[in-house]
Chain A
Amino acid sequence: MSDVRFTKDHEWVRIEGDTATVGISEYAQEQLGDVVFVELPTVGADVEAGGDAAVVESVKAASEVYAPIGGTIVEVNEDLEATPGLVNESAEDAGWFWRMEISDADELEELMTTADYKAFLEGLD
């Protein structure tokens, strides 16, 4: 089992050794509605925890996606360019946004576990 953490801004991060895969949560895609465009970061770019990294656009509006932790972008999900709707269909799997090298694993401690995030969502309604 890989370790998945969540942010209060509804990003998820899946940790596999020194790298992490990032996307937006099922709750986030539900709130956004039909995703029509995703602007991905550039491979090789450095991002900071909480910094702007990507943009996800629904029919209605554009929303920032923040980097849950700091690091270097090593891969982006190019499938989202042709098929942005993957974010709706499979937010926490095939609809991933980018993979990154983790610069400081301690930052993960700031994030919520799956159980914490579930409780956090229940508190929102």
Chain B
Amino acid sequence: MSQDQKRTPLYDLHAELGAKFVPFAGYAMPVQYAAGILKEHLHTRAGAGLFDVTHMGQVRLIAPDAAERLEALVPGDITALAAGEMRYTMFTNGRGGVLDDLMVTRRADDVFLVVNAGCKDQDIALLRDALGAAGVAYDEDRALLALQGPGAVAALARHAPGVADLGFMKAAALTIAGTKAWVSRSGYTGEDGFEISVAHADADGLARTLLAEPEVEAVGLGARDSLRLEAGLCLYGNDLTPDITPIEAGLTWTISKRRRATGGFSGDAVIQAQIADGPARRRVGIQPSGRAPARAHTSVVVGETTVGEITSGGFGPSVGGPVAMGYVDRAHAKAGTEIVLDIRGKRHAAAVVKMPFVPHRYAK
């Protein structure tokens, strides 16, 4: 383990639980615990999984007109958010490509962002350019825990009764077993659940409190990836890049009617044209017919022509077989289209399918 890797405040707890660490965006993060990725994945869909996602960036926009100014960087409707409401959106570049995807919550006194670990330096620089250095606060002393699964609400409600009343994509300041926390009803597994922001000093105690609940087991980043893949959610760097637009990615739903009409964000002309005319390629679900997983960069072929590429793929533990997503030319993007995957030089039959692979079970 390299010395210069950062550790989250839960590092010692991960080690106690038998974590296998991997380097991820400069951090030593648990890819799995003793149970292994398969069991951790299935447990999250049956009970509740506790994930350490402290490597993600927690940023507060404290400029007075932060919501308005953020809208110059993202196509999401931020000014329409009431305090305590959150939204999924993305930073775009001048070509309409995605620089990062993020969660935005409007709060009484600021706008709270959660951005990807690997993009946070870029994002903070972008925000400081747009809002002024004094308008952007990066909270490096905050930990982020995700509690995901059908058992999450019961487990968390024993320590914070208010969470049961929190609607999907809503957030509030709550006290959990005496710890001050910012809690949102959100996540990235397709399941009901919460993301909990606390001070570094409180993270270990809170994690141990939650792990003591009968529903809850620690779950690593390996299962986080297989859960989000089955849920049809994008992984930044694979399924979203600076060369892929939100429209190609099937994220048009994140752009409100007002923002489609008025634009005013980076790459707006490209994105508005793609909404009007349809993109040349689209992100689709891909279901291999056999047992062989098709990983990222696998070519998608129709006849003798390469029509696309897988961007995320692997084994879906809840599906019990391989699942993938990728980009294909629009002529071949319709669900039911038969395609061929070139896996290590061998042709494997597959089909374009609707996502998610496992139905979302978010709170109402």
Contacts and interface: CB of A to CB of B under 8 A. Distances in A.
Interface of A: 33-34, 36-37, 39, 55, 57-62, 81
Interface string B38-50: 1101000000000
6 contacts: A33-B36, A34-B37, A37-B292, A59-B226, A59-B314, A59-B315
Q: Which 5 A-B pairs have the closest CB atoms?
A: A36-B315, A34-B38, A59-B37, A34-B36, A59-B315
B222 interface: yes
Contacts of A61: 295
Nearest to A88: B36
Given A57-B315, A59-B314, A59-B315, A39 B37 contact: no
Contacts of A55: 344
A39 B344 contact: yes
Nearest to B22: A60
A76 to B, nearest CB: 15
Contacts of B249: none
B31 interface: yes
Contacts of A57: 292-293, 315
B158 interface: no
B8 interface: no
A105 B39 CA distance: 42
A39 B291 CA distance: 10
A59 B344 contact: no
Contacts of B20: 33
Contacts of B293: 36-37, 57, 62
Contacts of A36: 38, 293, 315
A43 B74 CA distance: 56
Contacts of A60: 31, 37, 222, 225, 314
B242 interface: no
A34 B155 CA distance: 28
Contacts of B54: none
A33 B222 contact: yes
A39 B292 contact: yes
B92 interface: no
A33 B36 CA distance: 6
A58 B39 CA distance: 13
Interface in B88-146: none
Contacts of B37: 33-34, 58-60
Nearest to A58: B37
Contact of B32 (A33, A37, A62, A81): A33
B279 interface: no
Contacts of B32: 33
Nearest to B291: A37
Nearest to B41: A59
A107 to B, nearest CB: 25
A55 B295 CA distance: 13
A42 to B, nearest CB: 11
Interface in B211-269: 222-223, 225-226
A59 B291 contact: no
A85 B41 CA distance: 16
B9 interface: no
Contacts of B31: 60
Contacts of A34: 36-39
B287 to A, nearest CB: 15
Given A33-B37, A33-B222, A34-B38, A62 B295 contact: yes
A52 B254 CA distance: 45
B317 interface: yes
Interface in B287-326: 291-293, 295, 314-315, 317, 322
Interface in B62-88: none
B295 A59 contact: no
A33 B314 CA distance: 14
A103 B206 CA distance: 61
Most buried by B among A36, A39, A59, A60: A59
